[in-house]
Amino acid sequence: MQTMDVTVSAGNASRVIDVSVMLPVSKSLVARQIIVSALCGKRLFVPDGWMCDDIAAMQRVVSSGGGLVDVGASGTALRFGLAYLSLQEGEFLLDGTERLRQRPVKELVEALRCLGADISSIGCEGFAPLRVRGRAMSGRQVCVDVSRSSQFVSALLLIAPMLKGGLEIVLQGDVRSRPYIDMTLSVMRDCGVKAEESADGRIIKVPCSHYDVGGLRPAEADWSAAAYWYAIAALAGNAAVRLPHLQCGSVQGDAVVSEIYERFGVVTEFRDGGIIVSHRRGHPLPASFDFDFRDNPDLAQCVAVTCICLKVPFVLRGLDSLVFKESDRINATASVLAGMGYGMHTDGRSFMSWDGKACAGGGNLSVKTFGDHRMAMSFAPLCMMGRDVLIEDAGVVSKSYPGFWTDLARAGFSVEPC
């Protein structure tokens, strides 16, 4: 990831958007496929065009023969890697950025230890860096608090077929990002392992089995990345954005972005293995916007900025997991918007709201990204209000969408290093 600041301006893009964009692959899907393939003793082929920081970190996990495994800022690689390496021969040290060392993993560590894993914390208990001595493990029932991350469950599910006796997971606490658990179960089914779930979804049983990676489906484009183009379409006077390889009925929970942006006059047409996103001229804006993002927290910042630009008051709820992401996204978003003159309200833990009455001051808009790719991409569309936006440390987009700034330029935006 290169450190750079960029200034983004809309120019003609604020009036007309007509572009085809090749979105990055869903890193969430690929991460799961990489682990399943590695558990079969195979290496998932990852084309250069799929590469981003998070996928590269997953590849480092499964290719490590021991020693330091640096996963950078990837919480997914930390959690999936912790479960995967617990079964591999050798001794490993999982570590990453300073922010990664603050991201929660204690619940997963405790569950893995119950299964026989040899994991020790080098610093604070339950946080990276973590020393892992791989060895055989046996299944049993484990209870996991998923209030802070659904990845604790996904990490356990992925290795469950490899455990003698299989595994039964009891989900405790307020389940967040449930679609990501369902995505994991879907990948497992594709590869021949079918889990049983209780009626309320709180108990998941996985038999001792083996994967058949011949069932892996081609990875989809990333619906989370599509959200920024939905925002751009909503703010443009006229828009037609073609996004290949996005599927109707996707296992990606963030596909709900198409339903969310219908409220802002954005139409989604599924055609030829992808979608066309367009803006319905004259569509009335909602008087206010209220949504629970407990299953789709990565969309919240993008929607908040869209509402600000369209002067639509909002209440965004179910944001508890955002404080544990690449940045504390609730307080980071509030801080940046406050600096622009928009007084957003938040308890700093679970919701963000704006009354629609605040107004921004003059001059350029400056966005501190806090090392978070979604801060950079969510705030870029602010330039469609007719003012330049300075994005600090804009290279953070390499974590999930390395070509974001190039794609913006192709769509008619001006993106200038500064």
| Cα distances (angstroms) measured from residue 418 to each of 59, 199, 388, 392 | 33, 55, 12, 9
Q: By three-state DSSP, how is residue 359 classified?
A: coil
Q: What is the DSSP letter of 221?
A: B
Does an H or E element contain 328, and which? none
Provide the Cα torsion 283, 287, 292, 293; round to 10°. Answer: 50
Q: How far apart are CA 195 and CA 185, in angstroms?
A: 7
Amino acid occupying residue 264: F
SS3 at position 164: strand
Q: Which of 222, 295, 298, 328 is catalytic?
A: 298
- Cβ atoms within 10 Å of 284's Cβ, excluding its own: 7
Query: Is 298 an active-site residue?
Result: yes
Q: Tokens at residue 402, please?
A: 């390395």
Beta-carbon count within 10 A of 257 CB: 26
DSSP state letter for 220 = P
Helical axes 75-85 vs 53-63, angle rounded to 10°: 10
Sheet with 289-292: strands ordered across? 289-292, 314-317, 352-354, 345-346
Q: Tell me the longest C-alpha to C-alpha distance in the chain.
A: 64
**Cα-based angle 397, 370, 388 (whole degrees, multiple of 5):** 70
- Give the residue numbers marked as catalytic: 298
